[in-house]
Amino acid sequence: MSGEASTPGASPRAPRPGTQKSSGSVTKKGDRGAKEKPVLVLPPVGEEEPKNPEEYQCTGVLETDFAELCTRSGYTDFPKVVTRPRPHPAFVPSASMSEKPAQDDQRLSASCSLNSLESKYVFFRPTIQVELEPEDKWVKEIYIRGWRVEERILGIFSKCLPPLSQLQAINLWKVGLTDKTLSTFIALLPLCAPTLRKVSLEGNPLPEQSYHKLMAADSPIAHLSLRNNNIDDHGAQLLGQALSTLRSCNRTLVSLNLAFNHIGDAGAGYIADGLRLNRALLWLSLAHNRIQDQGALKLAEVLRPFELTHTEVVERRRLLLEKGTQERSRSPSSSRPGDSKTDREKNLLLQVNSAALAEKTDKTQTTKTPKGLSKKKEKSGGESVRKEEKSGSGQSPTQGTPKKEDPTKSGKGKVTIPEQKTSKGKGPKTGNKEKRSFLLESEHLGQSLAYSWSPKHLVAEATETVSPLLEPVEHHNGKVFVPGNKVLLHLNLLRNRITEVGLEGFLATVQYQAQFSKSKSPSKGPVGLLRLSLAKNCFSPRCPAYATIQELMLPRAPVTKAKPREEETT
């Protein structure tokens, strides 16, 4: 009966000619279905143009470009580009956020606002959130949260992100990155605008922990956040090597966030090794890790004068000889006219590399002229280090201690004065002045470039900075000590496993840096940590060492420094 009842209802539509041509033997109800099928299958139009994304010219509007490239690539359902929502001071009904709000939803949103069930669904829907410039409405930051970013999506980003001339940051939170897609993402960064300096990859654990590739020498990233990525000691080792090694150093990264990972004592030691020769990183967070006393002591050690290893001493000697040859090739033509004199001076400077008498005569000359006593003592001290590097390239640094005391023993060096004057002949003063000139440039003027106080100068002048191994050194008990890392301004070790033993190491560091800052004005270079977070560790907040650290760090904090300055101006 059901079939008979359906035929009368369909009989008025039967005489249509189009249905009879389509199928004569099929029922009339089937004809209607056959007529509707082509309309539903027509979307192969999206499959006709999957080979044409390269022909599309991006307009610089991310919403339009991303949608068009996804359509050309064969995507039918893809995330939309929306403006990142901002919290409002007052509760706003969720009806403004939804397209078709119901009356019950309006009643619920009036009380719950952004916490309503509907707004939660909207929040977790896959989108590309963008933050715009307030005036020009250019895309400034991109936020992608909670949906998988595949290789094809990164290929689309490689075409629609470069036209964004004001892009400053990319934030990827739990997007399912792999080591392969990370390499694709890193290759995309140089294509973007030079204003892109911040990258955040949080909640993306990788099996090979290849995050160090983001800190390559040619990387434009200045601010990098790697929170909650399950980075262990092996990953910390790769990151520490990316910060600095004996022959290479990252000169662009300013801040590094490694909080909420699995870094232990060994990993903290690798990070400390990376800070030995790095003079660009200003901000470091190791909060919520597994660092104990041994790792804390290694971090505290590099922030005050530390001993150079044998390989570092050998590398220091090599750098001094290399810098000396460069300065000798420049100084004769600019300091003294005349070909005969310059040739003679070049020969004399070449002999100075292997001769030890020149340093002794310079030291004795400092005792004879009381007017420039202080300046020449500094020069003679630099030349004594120079002599150590030249005379014993393959020997231990223990030779530096007696030679540093030679300026006080001026009586021994007076015997060599007439011999040195007769050997130099017409140009004794020229050779000494030129040698002192390039030593001063390498020891003092180079440090002013390396210790540019502004973070912008640190990044911009990074290519011109000298190696930390060329910093003025001190000799104690046959060991060579460098001043340590005073560029790092912020260190966060919140919620680790540090006890009072590790706390003593940071107390010694803070005491040294506080004493050092009193003798040096901030305009002349960095003075060390301005903020040190050690709370929520395995020691009592009333511990005497912790209380002393808090007292020493209080006047160094930027907030407390600004108040006395305001009082002075008023």
User: Taking a C-beta distance cutoff of 8 angstroms, is the pair 358, 390 a contact?
Assistant: no
Calculate the alpha carbon distances from 294 to 268, 277, 504 in Å.
9, 20, 12
Q: How do the residues of the chain divide into helix, strand and coil, expressed in percent and rounded to 5?
A: 55, 10, 35
Alpha helices in 169-223 (DSSP H): 179-188
> Which tens digit of pLDDT belongs to each residue from 518-565?
876 655 677 899 999 999 999 999 999 999 999 999 988 887 555 555
Under the banding of pLDDT at 50, 70 and 90, the label for residue 463 is very low
CA distance 236 to 269: 9
Taking only the tens place, the pLDDT of each residue in 193-209 is: 999 999 999 999 999 99
> pLDDT band for position 88 (50/70/90)?
low
Candidates 205, 201, 223; CA nearest to 280 is 223
Query: What does the pLDDT look like over 130-154, one tens digit per residue?
Result: 999 988 889 999 999 989 999 999 9
Q: What integer pLDDT is reported at residue 462 of this predicted model?
A: 39
Q: Residue 398: CB partners within 8 Å, gap ≥ 6? A: 478, 479
> Residue 558: what pLDDT?
80
Alpha carbon distance 178, 181 (integer Å) = 5
pTM over 0.85: no
Residue-by-residue DSSP string for 335-387:
H---HHHHHHHHHHHHHHTT-SHHHHHHHHHHHH-STTHHHHHHHHHHHHHHH
Going by pLDDT thresholds of 50, 70 and 90, the confidence category of residue 39 is very low
pLDDT digits (tens, 9 = 90+) for 157-174: 999 999 999 999 999 999
Who contacts 174 (Cβ-Cβ below 8 Å, separation ≥6)? 145, 146, 202, 203, 204
Dump pLDDT digits (tens) for 473-509: 999 998 999 999 999 999 999 999 999 999 999 999 9
